[in-house]
């Protein structure tokens, strides 16, 4: 079925068109919206695009970095200043998907996708969103909880913390198909160390709930402690708390609950 394509020069106009039409979807790299059209999704009757350069801007200079929503994973991989995000970006798709898929689109990718968002969630990300009401920043966690209702708003950019050191940020994606495939589970941990103790631990999980979530019980087990064997064991056994995984072709909910602690232990102890 033919759809109407509306292309705008500015994000403001695109946001206006998106918020005024329930059946409009924003087209970024195409890996989600074009797939939906190919599968005959009749709920989409209008495609909105913006050719605004603001959407492809990268600011990697400060302690918090900002990625325009239209930045592709291939561009993240080409930026030396974004080395801490290279492992998550590299874990997505093949080269073609990384040339197309965007940081903004990944926020909307359903299970078993959305791995980059797991990394962002561990790095205390905020999302800049423009709706009919103007522009505002939302914590990524809050954004994800209301993701289904966000389709009328246009994501402009995502900001996140730059980890203080390479060891402070860890990422692990478990997939059945090597080297690339949908996620069985995905884990990311940001563990800033202050005076030998963890201060501000954030653990994020993918494919363990309808959206990416934080493992708050595991975070509590780490907070204020040094990263020793006992602490890691406590965090690993708390990893499953608050999760609600589903069955899919890549793994059952039971299997995901069984392995999440195992992989969190391996992630925190630096095991391959």
List the x/- string, 197-236, binding to other proteins by CB under 8 A. Answer: ----------------------------------------
27 belongs to the binding site for other proteins (CB under 8 A) = yes
43 belongs to the binding site for other proteins (CB under 8 A) = no
Residue 97: both structure tokens together? 């998907």
> Least separation, in Å, of the C-beta of 194 and other proteins?
37
Binding other proteins (rule: CB under 8 A), the pick from 35, 224, 229, 247 is 35
> Least separation, in Å, of the C-beta of 67 and other proteins?
19
189 belongs to the binding site for other proteins (CB under 8 A) = no
> Least separation, in Å, of the C-beta of 249 and other proteins?
12
Q: Which is nearer to other proteins, 175 or 209 (CB)?
A: 175
Close Cβ partners of 234 (under 8 Å, ≥ 6 residues apart) = 221
Close Cβ partners of 162 (under 8 Å, ≥ 6 residues apart) = 60, 62, 63, 64, 65, 84, 123
> What span, in angstroms and rounded, lies between the C-alpha atoms of 115 and 76?
14
DSSP 80-137: GGGGGGHHHHHTSS-HHHHHH-BHHHHTTPPTT--HHHHHHHHTT-EEEEEETTEEEE
> Least separation, in Å, of the C-beta of 37 and other proteins?
5
Size of the site for other proteins (CB under 8 A): 27
DSSP 171-222: EEEEESSSS---EEEEEEEE--EETTEE-S-EEEEESSSSS-EE-HHHHHHH
Binding other proteins (rule: CB under 8 A), the pick from 19, 31, 102, 211 is 31
Binding other proteins (rule: CB under 8 A), the pick from 54, 77, 100, 217 is 100
Binding other proteins (rule: CB under 8 A), the pick from 14, 15, 24, 47 is 47
272 belongs to the binding site for other proteins (CB under 8 A) = no
Instruction: Output DSSP code: residue 9.
Output: S
* Count of alpha carbons within 13 angstroms of residue 164, beta-carbon side: 10
Residue with tokens 């800049």: 128
148 belongs to the binding site for other proteins (CB under 8 A) = no
Helix (H) or strand (E) holding 156: strand 154-161
5 belongs to the binding site for other proteins (CB under 8 A) = yes
Q: Which is nearer to other proteins, 83 or 139 (CB)?
A: 83
The piece of 29-37, 129-137, 159-167, 247-255 that touches other proteins (CB under 8 A) is 29-37
Contact 265, 238 (CB under 8 A): no
Tell me which residues touch other proteins (CB under 8 A): 1-5, 7, 27, 29-31, 34-35, 37-39, 47, 49, 74, 93-97, 99-100, 179-180
């Amino acid at each position: 079925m033919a759809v109407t394509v509306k292309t705008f020069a500015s994000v403001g106009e695109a946001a206006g068109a998106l918020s005024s039409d329930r059946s409009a979807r924003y087209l970024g790299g195409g890996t989600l919206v074009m797939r939906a059209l190919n599968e005959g999704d009749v709920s989409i009757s209008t495609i909105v695009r913006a050719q605004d350069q603001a959407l492809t801007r990268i600011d990697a200079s400060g302690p918090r970095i900002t990625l325009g929503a239209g930045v592709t994973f291939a561009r993240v991989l080409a930026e030396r200043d974004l080395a801490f995000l290279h492992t998550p970006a590299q874990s997505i798709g093949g080269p073609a998907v990384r040339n197309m898929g965007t940081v903004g689109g990944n926020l909307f990718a359903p299970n078993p996708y959305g791995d980059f968002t797991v990394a962002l969630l561990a790095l205390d990300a905020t999302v800049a969103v423009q709706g009919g009401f103007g522009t505002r920043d939302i914590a990524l966690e809050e954004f994800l909880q209301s993701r289904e209702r966000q389709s009328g708003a246009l994501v402009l950019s995502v900001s996140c913390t730059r980890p203080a050191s390479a060891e402070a940020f860890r990422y692990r994606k478990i997939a059945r198909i090597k080297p690339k495939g949908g996620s069985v589970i995905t884990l990311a941990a940001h563990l800033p160390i202050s005076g030998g103790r963890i201060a501000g631990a954030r653990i994020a999980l993918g494919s363990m709930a309808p959206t990416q979530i934080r493992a708050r019980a595991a975070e509590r087990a780490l907070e204020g402690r040094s990263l020793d064997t006992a602490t890691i064991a406590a965090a690993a056994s708390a990893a499953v708390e608050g999760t609600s995984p589903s069955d899919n072709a890549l793994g059952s909910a039971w299997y995901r609950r069984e392995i999440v602690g195992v992989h969190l232990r391996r992630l925190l102890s630096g095991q391959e």
